[in-house]
Structure formats: structure tokens, C-alpha cells
């Protein structure tokens, strides 16, 4: 498993930085966003460090599948059947932590187009 010593999410995965962890698996960790945009706003991150979803897909596609499985489990545990999954890739798309992560958002109306 690779990690980046300067990465906030790697530090959360390692337990070096506290987070409100709501789910953990062999491949992922899910924790509440510190600036929630909805009643449910959880980040799902792979334990393996890659900078974005495309890099994760290239390095280990099973990590992306596990992110979706974890997201479903988190939403269900919180009582939601409907939820949005968001991956921001790159600074221009508002990615601020360059460790693959998926936002699981539920509990408010989702509009289209997003953004």
C-alpha cells in the first residue's frame, strides 16, 4: 500500500489525523466531510494513495469498485436510498486534496446540472 507523507487523507487513513469515520473496509475508509453540503456528506477514500479517480482506475480498478460499494453501504446505513456520488479531478474541478475521494451526498434535493 502506498501513502504520501504529506497527504491529509493518507494521514486520516493511517489514524494520524482524527476524523469521524463511519465505515472502513480492507480497501476504503469513509468519514464525514468537515464542511458538509447536505445532511449526509461523507468522503470515501481508498487506502492506496493516488491523486485522482483516473489514476486510481489505472492503478487498481478494484479500488473504484470498492468506493462505490462503500458509498452504497454508508448511504443505506444513514437511511438513504437516493444519493449522489461526486469525484472532483483536478484543481479546475475544485479538487483540493489530491488523494482520490468520492463525495457521498444525500438528504437534500439534487439539481441538474450539478455545480
| CATH superfamily membership of 8-106 | HIT-like (3.30.428.10)
Contact 102, 10 (CB under 8 A): no
Rounded (5°) CA angle 96-40-114: 60
Measured distance CA(13)–CA(45) in Å, rounded: 8
Number of residues in the chain: 115
Per-residue pLDDT tens listing for the chain (115 residues): 578 889 999 999 999 999 999 999 999 999 999 999 999 999 999 999 999 999 999 999 999 999 999 999 999 999 999 999 999 999 999 999 999 999 999 999 988 887 6
Measured distance CA(29)–CA(12) in Å, rounded: 9
Q: What is the pLDDT, as a whole number, of residue 39?
A: 98
**108 Cβ contact list (under 8 Å, min separation 6):** 38, 39
Q: What is the pLDDT, as a whole number, of residue 2?
A: 77
The residues annotated as belonging to the active site are 101
* Cell reading at 18: 482524527
46, β-bridge pairs: 28
Q: What is the pLDDT, as a whole number, of residue 1?
A: 55
- 3-class DSSP state of 85: strand
Q: In which element (H, E) is residue 37 found? A: none
Rounded (5°) CA angle 91-63-95: 10
Q: What is the pLDDT, as a whole number, of residue 113?
A: 85
Domain limits of the chain?
8-106
Amino acid at each position: 500500500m502506498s501513502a504520501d507523507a504529506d497527504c491529509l487523507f493518507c494521514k486520516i487513513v493511517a489514524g494520524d489525523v482524527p476524523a469521524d469515520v463511519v465505515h472502513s473496509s480492507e480497501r476504503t475508509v469513509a468519514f464525514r466531510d468537515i464542511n458538509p453540503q447536505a445532511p449526509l456528506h461523507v468522503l470515501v477514500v481508498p487506502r492506496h494513495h493516488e491523486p485522482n479517480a483516473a489514476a486510481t482506475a489505472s492503478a487498481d480498478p478494484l479500488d473504484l469498485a470498492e468506493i462505490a460499494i462503500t458509498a452504497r453501504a454508508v448511504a443505506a446505513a444513514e437511511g438513504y436510498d437516493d444519493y449522489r456520488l461526486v469525484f472532483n479531478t483536478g484543481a479546475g474541478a475544485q479538487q483540493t486534496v489530491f488523494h482520490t475521494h468520492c463525495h457521498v451526498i444525500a438528504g437534500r434535493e439534487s439539481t441538474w446540472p450539478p455545480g
